[in-house]
Amino acid sequence: MKPSTLLLPLFPLLAATAGGCTSQVDDIETPDLSSPAALPIGIFVGRTTFQSSPVTVISTALVEPNGRMVVVGDRAEYLASGIYSTAGRGFNAQLRFHLPNLRNESGAPLTAPSSADFIGTYNPQVDFTGTFVRSDGENGSMNFIYDPQTEVVPDLRTLVGTWSNADAFGDSSISFTFVNGGGFSGLDSAGCRYTDAEAQIINGRYNLYRVQFSRACIGEPAPTLFAGLMTVVSRTEAGRTANQMILTGSNSTAAVSFELTEAR
């Protein structure tokens, strides 16, 4: 299989890929949280700063009410996924970081994901900020502000249709088709197929979806299972406003992250 840099074999937990099916879905237990209105729940936009390169990455964070979160670079520079807990206005998380990296001929990652501890503070429906230290020695900070699009009512019917990510020449490098009820399937330019896929509304108050899917790629011995978070937001780039789907998935060894535009 040819080398790739699309967050393949890398990590949550709420963004690239690896081995067999055994123990691939993240096994960190989710804490029991209460009082959702007082928690750092929602879609957040901001920056992640690393001690080394890349120094600063524009990022999106998805934080769901059941204790899981994903932070992903807007250009798939990294994906961090894990679980969080709160105490007062303190915001702590255990994350796995996946970085884009090449794969060997068998499809295994050349660089394993690293774990990290995040310690910070938050203000509900305002922001969260803090620092992290990774097991590989890297450290950095996260600074995010709340996106009011969190309050858009989630609706599986609005997902129905085709969502794709075009390459520099305008061809579809990956495409997902959603059907009624949240089921979806996909195909990327490397011939990897995404099946057994489903999006579910987590809570009717938040524009967040929980997703799970299987990916089968040529040359890999078995499908890879992923679980993650997803949202659909309106974003403006180059003077054009469009709906954008942010879809992430990960397990203990691999992660994928996609920014997809609705086909018209």
Rg of the chain's alpha carbons, rounded to an integer? 17
Q: Which residues of 161-177 are buried (b: 16+ CB within 10 A; e: fewer)?
A: ebbbbeeeeeebebbbb
Evaluate whether 145 touches 46 at the Cβ level (below 8 Å): yes
Spatial separation of the C-alpha atoms in residues 171 and 180, rounded to whole Å: 26
Residues in the chain: 264
d(CA 141, CA 123): 17
* pLDDT given for residue 40 in this prediction: 94
Query: Is-contact 14 70, C-beta < 8 A?
Result: yes
CA-CA-CA-CA torsion for 169, 193, 29, 207, nearest 10 degrees?
A: 50
The pLDDT of residue 100? 77
- Give the chain's residues under pLDDT 50: 1-25, 27-34
Q: 36-150: what CATH class? A: mainly beta
For the record, the structure tokens of 27 come out as 């096994």
146 touches 42 (CB < 8 A): yes
- pTM for this predicted structure: 0.83
Give, as one character, the DSSP assignment of residue 221. Answer: S
Ordered by start, the domain boundaries in the chain are 36-150, 151-262
Helix then strand count (H, E) for the chain reads 0, 16
What is the Cα–Cα distance from 114 to 133, expressed in whole angstroms?
10
* Non-local CB neighbours of 82 within 8 Å, separated by 6+ positions: 12, 13, 28, 68, 69, 93, 94, 95, 96, 116, 118
pLDDT per residue over 136-192, tens digit each?
999 999 999 999 999 999 999 999 999 999 776 777 789 999 999 999 999 998 899
Per-residue pLDDT, 218: 87
User: What sign does the dihedral 228-233-238-241 (CA atoms) show?
Assistant: positive
pLDDT of amino acid 131: 98
- CA torsion 72-74-78-83 (nearest 10°) is 0
Q: Which two tokens stand for residue 116?
A: 């990290």
The two tokens of residue 223 are: 């499908």
Q: What is the three-class DSSP state of 156?
A: helix
Token pair recorded at residue 80 = 């961090």
Only one residue has tokens 């990916």, namely 215
Q: What pLDDT shows up at residue 166? A: 76
Pairing of strands 161-166, 224-237: unpaired
Q: What pLDDT shows up at residue 21?
A: 34
